[in-house]
Structure 1
Amino acid sequence: MGLRLLLPPHNLRRQPWALLLLLVGSLVMCSTASAGAGIEHVQKTMDMDVVLRLSGRPANMTLTAFRNFTYQQTLDHFNYLPSSYTTFPQRYSIDFTHWGGAGTGSPILLYTGAESALEDELAGVGYHVHAAPALRALVVYIEHRYYGLSVPFGSPAAAHKDADTLGYLSVSQALADYAEIIIHIQKMYNARGPVIAVGCSYGGMLSAYFRLKYPHVAHGALSSSGPVLYVNGNLSSRREYYDIISSDFMSISVHCFQTIKSSWAEIDRINRQLGVGELIRIFNPCKPFTDVNPLKNYLRLEYNRYAQYDDPASTPVRRFCRGVDGAPVGTPILERIKAGLDRIHGQRCHNIAAARVKAPGLSGWGWQTCTEIMLPVGPGGGPQSLFEPWPYDFQASRRWCMRKYHVEPRPQWMATAYNITEALEQFGSNIIFANGLRDPYSDGGVLQDISPSIVALTTQEGSHCLDVAYPRPATDPQWLIDQRNEELRIIRGWITTFHSSFNPRDDQ
């Protein structure tokens, strides 16, 4: 009999698998689209400094227990050319605090690092605080190649120099990295227990694919907020991501929704009649901009962030709308928008002209979105949308990539390598797909069970990666506590099955 779960009494929902959805390639938060006069490469929205700024650091967050290591990683796992054997130092961190010890069979919780530096991942993702003590687990975080300091060729600048040096950055290479390091750790510490991969967003995609591609290494995976159904080779523009953002704002304040919706035309009107200088006066940018595109991109990105990370502790959508709605009667539209921004950021200058991520590894992320990761999302407009129509345009994206990297995108590759359809029910197992339905990326997530052991957990009020964030006992709602407990219950079942049916070989 398969694993069947009881429905919690709150907003945690699990749905039977109604349609065999395509389980496809991974990654999140970047698109290239046509924006008015030119092509704008829109930044990813999951950068940890923003998450921490929006929600604040939890009081129980501690990184002192982690010990840092490096592993001499193989540059190219899939060729036998002499250059493939080049190595580079890849960083990882281990917390031994709650581990049951060598030879005990206690599990390993592996965080599959994503498009951020190791320090940012440690600061932003705290699932181990909840799970490690309960499971007596060894906790491992691995930094993704080409991000942070885990870079080949001696430096980030050298690694990101051009297509020849960036060519070793791919999902497949990253998964092989994780396998090598985990096997190394197992041997080094006689850690014989099951490996449970945990990841969020792009890292959530990696955790799911790690389980599927390396089932002999990972016994299960928790994929939090991973839109695995987006990157399936279908390049038709999808509007649902932005529709969820619109719904999030509408659910808080119709007036705020209408103000944002009206602001795009008002920006154009003021620019046309009074010039860009008046927009600069209203929005107080840290650096002046010369046309409306940087301003519109900045505002789109802000609204994306507020909806994506609209967690119960920080409620950025509600805070922004309080600023908009609380402006005095008669306040013009754009001044109301500015009041909402000030409610979030304080009354200071806004980094409008710097709307792209400047963190180390940005060129690595751009490379990934230009080679194997195609995310065809773009707002469709209409009465229920906050946004102007701005559909995804693959040909525009292709041209941008050719100019930037001199590389031709391969939009079908992820579907070729990771497009698991009906076969997944036949051979896959032990994956949790967790999504909060206020997260716009939930539209690309698995929201219904695939099989008795590949299950979907959704929360009506959940936001992006909220279940794997650091617990906040004082403010976490009961439905979030229930979700984490349900995830833990499922993982305990995997571990029990591992110990009852699998005896690790002595030579591993």
Structure 2
Amino acid sequence: MTKLFVLISIAVLLCIVETGHCWRFFYNGRVVDKDYQNTKSWNLQSSPSKYERWFTQKLDHFNPNDERTWKQRYYVNDEFVNKQRNIAFLMIGGEGEASADWMESGAWIDYAKEFKPICFQLEHRYYGKSHPTEDLRTKNLKFLSSQQALVDVAYFIENMNIQYELSPDVKWIAFGGSYPGSLAAWLRQKYPHLVHGAMSASGPLLAELNFDQYFKVVEDDLRLYSDDCLNAVQEGTIQVNTLLKHKLGQRNLDTLFKLCDPIGRNVENSLDISNFFSTLAGNFAGIAQYNKDNRKSNRQHNVTLDVLCNIMVNQSIGPQITRLSAVNNLILSITNQECLDYKYDKMISELRNISWDSITSEGGRQWTYQTCTEFGFYQTSDYKPQIFGDKFPLDFSVQQCTDIFGPRYNLTFLQDAVERTNIMYGALNIDVTNVVFVHGSVDPWHALGITKTLENRAPAIYIEGGAHCSNMYPKSENDTPQLRAARVQIQQLIGSWLDL
């Protein structure tokens, strides 16, 4: 105990604490930082406005007496389309802003050059600039659901067939990754007369309230690097727990992890402590999920699990907790964060903000609502043994639903919501054809998807070493043979669906 304090006290003298505040890098399975997610390094050659269009969409597809409409953004690229205009590709938008970069790059554009479709990308309602309501208050979010989104796509397809004078026998192929990967599969399931085939990448088809397997996969990812890396993360977490019990240790934690607020003032607040541990675990989860996927922003493209594990096994840095803090400070750096803001009340306050101009309107509030009303997907510490500690159990996630949206959104409500979603779509027993399910072994979301072919007309591709949606991003000379083979197989499947 004394030795640990001495080592850490020496180490923290080397740290410079910056001032300011930040919000979490990784939350509810999605990266919060916009620049981390961006695709600007793809070098879009023309203005996004070249592709941007707007479509008049119905607000509530399930109430024929509601005649309200709104403007939904979409992108279109017709430079590849053949004279017959009998093939259309559709990229389905998800829990973030749609990007015009996809209209010029990505695997689907490589396929477009081969099959000559007209290419569309439809932004998901309530994300990006597609604002169906004046604000994000909870009563307005009742129109935000996967069911409404699927009907959005159906109406969009019907209208694009007319507007762009597509062939009466046009074949639409849908593409989606992550949540949109699920939407792509469900779209083919619900509207087979409109959608001829679908590529579903990293789509979690099983709604799961307590997704404790998530961090089991992250643990497996770290173990692939080395047991030493895994053990160092676990030991560093134990040391954090040790320091939390003592005043001097608490002050050392403030400096080591660049905390915006002294943790000694909040050590009795279990929600603050849960948020702190969840954030530290999220540092590894956010990198693991997107490890080496070619989704390169200017600030993060060199940060991989190898980088994090190189830090964790480097004894010259200091004890394991100091290495853990070095990982945390690296994440703060690449996301331009000055300090680690672990305060639960502040996070909740930001997620309660209903303005389209708020920090969390980039998708944080909306996606949280969808997890609270449809999917769950809560990455908890309930898996045992848990190398990241046991401080963020399911109760912690459920508490966020009730604190953000109201007491109605309690455990019973969430359990019913998840059950309803699985009944509605079939979960892992989905009955569908002309869909390819693509997952990567490094991506924790594969635990909720189809990774083995159960039906020849709906094959699964499991990419060893593959990350979240990695098959969708532009090719790289560093791509593994397995990733290259997956892209080829997908192209062959699309060709077979199109009878080409």
TM over 0.5: yes
C-alpha distance in 1 between matches for 2:38 and 2:153: 30
2:74 counterpart residue number = 92
Residues 305-328 of structure 1 show CA distances to partners (whole Å, capped at 9, x for unaligned) of: 111111266461101111232351
Of the two structures, which has the highest relative contact order with CA contacts closer than 8 Å and spacing of 6 or more? 1
Cα displacement (A) at 1:295: 2.9
C-alpha distance in 1 between matches for 2:492 and 2:428: 27
C-alpha distance in 2 between matches for 1:441 and 1:459: 13
**Which structure shows the bigger proportion of residues in helix conformation?**
2
**Could you say what secondary structure the match of 2:377 adopts?**
coil
Task: Give the number of aligned pairs.
Answer: 437
Matched, 1:281 2:255: yes
Aligned pair in 2 of structure 1 residues 375, 312: CA closer, same or farther (>3 Å)? closer
1:415 counterpart residue number = 422
**Could you say what secondary structure the match of 1:108 adopts?**
strand
Structure 2 letter corresponding to 1:117? E
Give ranges in structure 1 of 5+ residues lacking alignment: 1-39, 498-508
Matched, 1:486 2:483: no
2:350 counterpart residue number = none
Aligned pair in 2 of structure 1 residues 153, 128: CA closer, same or farther (>3 Å)? same
Cα displacement (A) at 1:445: 1.1
Matched, 1:246 2:219: yes
C-alpha distance in 2 between matches for 1:285 and 1:260: 19
**Conservation of the 8 A alpha-carbon contact between 1:239 and 1:377:** yes
Cα displacement (A) at 1:465: 0.5
Matched, 1:180 2:155: yes
Scaled by the length of structure 2, the TM-score of the pair is: 0.79
Match of 2:291 among 310, 326, 339: 310
**Conservation of the 8 A alpha-carbon contact between 2:274 and 2:392:** no
Residues 250-280 of structure 1 show CA distances to partners (whole Å, capped at 9, x for unaligned) of: 1113222111101222112212212533211
Cα displacement (A) at 1:482: 1.2
C-alpha distance in 2 between matches for 1:125 and 1:341: 32
C-alpha distance in 1 between matches for 2:104 and 2:216: 26
Aligned pair in 2 of structure 1 residues 496, 351: CA closer, same or farther (>3 Å)? farther
1:37 counterpart residue number = none
C-alpha distance in 2 between matches for 1:475 and 1:421: 32
C-alpha distance in 1 between matches for 2:362 and 2:191: 29
Scaled by the length of structure 1, the TM-score of the pair is: 0.78
Q: Percent identity?
A: 24
Structure 1 letter corresponding to 2:404? K
Residues 202-253 of structure 1 show CA distances to partners (whole Å, capped at 9, x for unaligned) of: 010011101101111111111100121244xxx5x45322111001111113
Residues 387-436 of structure 1 show CA distances to partners (whole Å, capped at 9, x for unaligned) of: 2235753x665554334223443232102211267671xxx210110000
1:15 counterpart residue number = none
Residues 340-378 of structure 1 show CA distances to partners (whole Å, capped at 9, x for unaligned) of: 345555498554216968352322112111112222543
2:18 counterpart residue number = none
Structure 2 letter corresponding to 1:248? D
2:325 counterpart residue number = 338
**Conservation of the 8 A alpha-carbon contact between 1:127 and 1:469:** yes
**Conservation of the 8 A alpha-carbon contact between 2:73 and 2:122:** yes
**Could you say what secondary structure the match of 1:451 adopts?**
coil
Match of 1:265 among 238, 244, 253: 238
2:4 counterpart residue number = none
**Conservation of the 8 A alpha-carbon contact between 1:271 and 1:278:** no
C-alpha distance in 1 between matches for 2:234 and 2:309: 13
1:379 counterpart residue number = 381
**Conservation of the 8 A alpha-carbon contact between 2:259 and 2:342:** no
Match of 2:146 among 162, 171, 195: 171
C-alpha distance in 2 between matches for 1:89 and 1:135: 30
Structure 2 letter corresponding to 1:480? L
